[in-house]
Chains A and B, each alone.
Chain A
Amino acid sequence: DGGITQSPKYLFRKEGQNVTLSCEQNLNHDAMYWYRQDPGQGLRLIYYSQIVNDFQKGDIAEGYSVSREKKESFPLTVTSAQKNPTAFYLCASSTRGTSGSNEQFFGPGTRLTVL
């Protein structure tokens, strides 16, 4: 089945540690996205990538980093510089477009808790 997988589903981290969230898609999509979701705030864009080896900051990129070495994979690292990392993280992908009409497909999410 085609889709997006995120792992792990739950992740616990101690303060001061970096942690990497995995996102893989087999939809042959060029574009991939990372969102952060907090209660009552909807989805906020962290980073996005329209093509391999290229990515752009979203609205809340501080304290996060990404890489896009393969089309299928877009890992997100939450660094110790992120002041409030406890949240639900969603990865999405879409066909590449410049009009905003390309539907985004979402993974099941990773819930990160900082202890």
Chain B
Amino acid sequence: AQSVTQPDIHITVSEGASLELRCNYSYGATPYLFWYVQSPGQGLQLLLKYFSGDTLVQGIKGFEAEFKRSQSSFNLRKPSVHWSDAAEYFCAVGDFNKFYFGSGTKLNVKP
């Protein structure tokens, strides 16, 4: 069965520090992978997506993610976090006409 795991519920980083949010998926074929960001009380905004080709994908707001098939992972990274990055981040895998979302990682940014 398809599933997405985000093992970190909360992460706190200092402003300017690097960030990595973990995502592991379970899927039987080539996955379509997405990262979304959600500010409190808002909808979700797409950060980036992976379909095929280059395993390192660039997104908006300076985010990138790397697809590693051998590890079934699609981790999100940012070299230098800004206070405005504080939000909740969701990883998702697309399957035919449905998405499966992870439970999310809440990012806090310390000044």
Q: Please report A residues at the B interface, Cβ cutoff 8 Å.
A: 4, 31, 33, 35, 40-45, 48, 50, 58, 88, 90, 92, 96-109, 111
CB of B91 to closest CB in A, whole Å = 9
Q: State whether B97 touches A50 (Cβ < 8 A).
A: yes
Q: State whether B32 touches A42 (Cβ < 8 A).
A: no
Q: Does B56 contact A (CB under 8 A)?
A: no
Q: State whether A108 touches B43 (Cβ < 8 A).
A: yes
Q: Which of B34-68 contact A (CB under 8 A)?
A: 34, 36, 41-46, 49, 51
Q: State whether B97 touches A104 (Cβ < 8 A).
A: no
Q: State whether A100 touches B94 (Cβ < 8 A).
A: yes
Q: State whether B93 touches A100 (Cβ < 8 A).
A: yes
Q: From the candidates A48, A50, A101, A108, name the one contacting B51 in the complex (CB within 8 A).
A: A101
Q: From the candidates A40, A103, A107, name the one contacting B49 in the complex (CB within 8 A).
A: A103
Q: Does B103 contact A (CB under 8 A)?
A: yes
Q: State whether A43 touches B97 (Cβ < 8 A).
A: no
Query: Which residue from chain A places its CB closest to the CB of B100 in the assembled complex?
Result: A45
Q: State whether A43 touches B96 (Cβ < 8 A).
A: no
Q: Note all chain A residues with C-beta closer than 8 A to B94.
A: 99-102
Q: State whether A48 touches B43 (Cβ < 8 A).
A: no
A-B residue pairs, 8 tightest by C-beta:
A100-B94, A106-B43, A42-B103, A43-B101, A106-B44, A101-B32, A42-B101, A100-B95
Q: State whether A109 touches B102 (Cβ < 8 A).
A: no
Other A-B contacts than A50-B97, A98-B96, A109-B42, 13 sampled, CB-CB below 8 A, are A31-B97, A40-B9, A42-B6, A42-B101, A42-B104, A100-B93, A100-B99, A101-B32, A102-B97, A103-B34, A104-B44, A106-B36, A108-B43
